[in-house]
């Protein structure tokens, strides 16, 4: 399918139009309708779904972020008033607390199967999502929320946080033996999101200050040094590692990842608002991150965002997962509110046109988790449907003031 050569310039912002808003709400409901009936694994956690929306064979291994993100999404559903959501929250919170939480050594194990720990390592990425789940669950009064929030905060502060750098280390063995030699932006980016949610849930300034320090390191210093390409991989002193070769394309891909530039664009503006608009560098950085992502990461021939670029800005992994364009929708929404321009409105429409034409699975519901270079559904990285997290937030963020997290805006 060729890239659109025309993007409507009809007057008025799309996100203000009742029809567009109703369409976004309907898409969010379709996502919930896909997951609600089948997602709960009776042995704990949630099933991954196959392309038709049924439990995916071989999905007995449950990584922690899948459960934590489901809790966050169903808190959103509960705040919206969607019946059945509280059961999903309770199921996920209990699995995090009673199964992923390591009663022997402390912290939260990365993945479990029906027999217990599968990968018992303690990863910053996973702990960031536990913090997000606990912070979100606190907003609906879940009985485990305060205990989990206190517990994971202590672990993050005592085990992961490196105050000399203003960011977290990456991972440990189950017994807290360090895995040395690597620092990553992805875990710190998601921790920034979770720290903001924790600040909104508790008003504890320490969460906000840590989020600001991470953003200053990764965006204001390291990304700025790279002409606002967000580096993914670093050594222990937070020097950029441009030679890093991926051993896990899903969580640590080689090169740079424009989808993360888009994610940081939104998070930086959200952090600017939460911090009282006191950091002057943040709005311009958010705008530049978005512009660089569409200049370098967007496929001008066929549309969609390439997954990765090399350091010469050439597409490396040319397939197009769902989450970068979902994050683009959230980022451009925040930009339209805080840095309004015809450029941002044009991209808002282009992004949603591409999602509607290529990413939405009209036969089975939900979104295609991956398209190839020609925008044809593919499965090189993912075996089945994507979870709710990215697509749901893309649909809902435009419906609320771009002043904080969705849970805070809805609640």
Residue 10 predicted with pLDDT over 80: no
Percent helix / strand / coil, the chain, rounded to 5: 50, 10, 40
Say if residue 166's pLDDT is above 70: yes
Evaluated on CA atoms 248, 393, 202, 217, the torsion sign reads: positive
Whole-prediction pTM value?
Answer: 0.97
Sheet strands (E) in 32-100:
62-63
> Residue 62: phi, psi to the nearest 5?
-115, 105
What Cα–Cα distance (Å) separates residue 322 from each residue in 12, 63, 173, 296, 325? 27, 19, 31, 18, 6
- Is residue 288 scored above 80 in pLDDT? yes
Query: Is 189 part of a structural domain of the chain?
Result: yes
Q: Provide the CATH number for the domain around residue 390.
A: 1.50.10.10
**Residue 411 pLDDT > 90:** no
Per-residue pLDDT tens over the stretch 222-279: 999 999 999 999 999 999 999 998 777 788 899 999 999 999 999 999 999 999 999 9
> 9 in a domain, yes or no?
no
Q: Which residues pair with 46 in a beta bridge?
A: 40
Nearest to 331 by CA among 347, 307, 318, 319: 347
Is 389 part of any domain? Answer: yes
Alpha-helical regions (H) of 140-204: 145-155, 185-202
Mean predicted confidence (pLDDT) in 343-371: 97
Share of the chain above pLDDT 70, in %: 99
- State pLDDT tens for residues 81-134: 999 999 999 999 999 999 999 999 999 999 999 999 999 999 999 999 999 999
Of these residues, 233, 260, 338, 344, which one is catalytic? 260
Whether residue 20 lies in the annotated active site:
no
Q: Answer yes or no: is pLDDT of 4 > 70.
A: no
Structural domain that includes position 243: 14-410
Tell whether the model's pLDDT for residue 9 goes beyond 90: no
Question: Does the residue 207 lie in any domain?
Answer: yes
3 pLDDT tier (thresholds 50, 70, 90)? low
User: Across residues 336-344, what is the average pLDDT?
Assistant: 97
pLDDT tens figures, 293-310: 999 999 999 999 999 999
**Does residue 172 lie within any of the structural domains?**
yes
Domain count, the chain: 1
* CA atoms of 406 and 300, how far apart (whole Å): 31
Residue 248 lies in a domain: yes
Whole-number pLDDT of residue 251: 82
The reply to whether 190 falls in a domain is yes
> Sorting pLDDT into bands at 50, 70 and 90, what band is 1?
very low
Distances (CA, A) of 256 to 17, 149, 407: 35, 32, 30
Residue 261 falls within a domain, yes or no?
yes
- Told to judge if 260 belongs to the known catalytic residues of this protein, a careful annotator would answer yes
């Amino acid at each position: 399918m060729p890239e659109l050569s025309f993007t409507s310039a009809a007057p008025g912002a799309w996100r203000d139009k009742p029809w567009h808003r109703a369409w976004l709400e309907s898409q969010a409901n379709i996502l919930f309708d896909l997951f609600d009936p089948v997602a709960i694994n009776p042995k704990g956690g949630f099933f991954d779904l196959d392309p038709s929306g049924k439990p995916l064979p071989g999905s007995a291994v449950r990584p922690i972020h899948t459960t934590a993100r489901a809790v966050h999404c169903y808190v959103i559903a509960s705040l919206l008033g969607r019946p059945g959501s509280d059961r999903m929250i309770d199921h996920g919170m209990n699995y995090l607390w009673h199964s992923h939480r390591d009663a022997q050594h402390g912290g939260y194990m990365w993945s479990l199967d029906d027999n217990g720990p599968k990968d018992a390592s303690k990863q910053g990425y996973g702990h960031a999502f536990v913090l997000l789940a606990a912070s979100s669950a606190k907003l609906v009064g879940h009985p485990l929320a305060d205990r989990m929030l206190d517990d994971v905060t202590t672990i993050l502060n005592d085990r992961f946080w490196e105050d000399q750098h203003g960011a977290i280390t990456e991972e440990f063995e189950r017994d807290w033996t360090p895995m040395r030699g690597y620092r990553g932006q992805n875990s710190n980016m998601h921790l920034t999101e979770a720290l903001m949610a924790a600040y909104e849930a508790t008003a504890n300034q320490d969460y906000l200050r840590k989020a600001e320090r991470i953003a200053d390191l990764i965006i204001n210093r390291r990304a700025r040094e790279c002409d606002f390409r967000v580096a993914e991989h670093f050594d222990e002193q937070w020097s950029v590692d441009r030679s890093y070769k991926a051993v896990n394309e899903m969580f640590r891909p080689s090169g740079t990842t424009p989808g993360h530039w888009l994610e940081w664009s939104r998070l930086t503006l959200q952090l600017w608002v939460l911090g009282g608009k006191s950091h002057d560098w943040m709005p311009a950085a958010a705008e530049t991150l978005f512009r660089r992502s569409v200049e370098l990461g967007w496929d001008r021939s066929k549309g969609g965002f390439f997954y990765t670029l090399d350091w010469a800005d050439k597409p490396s992994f040319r397939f197009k997962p769902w989450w970068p364009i979902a994050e683009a929708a959230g980022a451009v929404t925040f930009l339209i509110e805080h840095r309004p321009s015809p450029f941002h409105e044009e991209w808002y429409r282009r992004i949603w046109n591409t999602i509607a034409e290529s990413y939405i699975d009209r036969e089975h519901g939900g979104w295609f988790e991956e398209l190839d270079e020609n925008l044809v559904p593919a499965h090189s990285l993912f075996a089945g449907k994507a979870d709710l997290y990215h697509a749901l937030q893309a649909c809902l963020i435009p419906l609320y003031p771009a002043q904080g997290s969705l849970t805070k805006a809805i609640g």
